Amino acid sequence: MKTLIIYYSGSGSTKIMARTLSMHLKADIIGIKDLKNREGFANRLLSSIDAFRESKTEISPSKVDLTDYDLIYVGTPTWANKPTPAIITLIDRCNWKGKDVILFTTMNKDGSDEPTIERLEEKISMRGGRIVESFSLKTMDKSPEDIINDTEGIIQTLVLKMYSGA
């Protein structure tokens, strides 16, 4: 079984989580880049509006071929209780038919990851993917080492290695 981790990261927390998952689960990894400027206060505010509206954005790579993968992890920060525009754009451009998918989110603030996970589940399921697990990590005020340790704890707790055969 071949595993792929696809993620978008704004502040770097989701990237740390994705790389930790990749290392422990022996998975390929692809970081999605949003080509729109999301830096600075005004752009971050507009980014939250884009997420809330599920606006599309230009991304790199523009599409990912999932053909060779049986299990795909999709990771995104939570913006305005929604997935990021980069991940929404990617989901709409890929063929998820027959793929097992595990979702993960990061959150900088207190709140619920449920709306983000539910929206990801809905979009991927509508495109033929099957959600087999999901999890979230609150990253506010956490060091990179804390994020790595918390991710390793999630891998153990949810027994994620059983899905990928790692």
Q: pLDDT (tens digit, 9 = 90+) per residue, 5-24?
A: 999 998 899 999 999 999 99
- DSSP 8-state class, residue 152: H
- DSSP 8-state class, residue 86: H
Q: Is residue 7 a contact partner of residue 74, using CB atoms and an 8 Å limit?
A: yes
User: Could you give the percent of the chain with pLDDT greater than 90?
Assistant: 66
Task: Report the CATH number that the domain containing residue 144 is assigned in CATH.
Answer: 3.40.50.360
Q: Closest Cα to residue 73, out of 111, 20, 126, 13?
A: 20
Query: What is the model's pLDDT at position 7?
Result: 98
Element spanning 149, H or E: helix 144-157
Q: How many domains does the chain have?
A: 1
Tokens (6 digits) for 57: 């954005």
Residue 156's domain comprises 3-164
Residue 146: CB partners within 8 Å, gap ≥ 6?
none
CA distance 60 to 75: 16
Dihedral of alpha carbons 51, 57, 16, 155, sign = positive
pLDDT digits (tens, 9 = 90+) for 79-118: 888 899 999 999 999 999 999 999 999 988 766 678 899 9
Instruction: Provide the β-strand partners of residue 74.
Output: 6, 103
Tokens (6 digits) for 81: 């209780």
Query: Which pTM does this prediction carry?
Result: 0.91
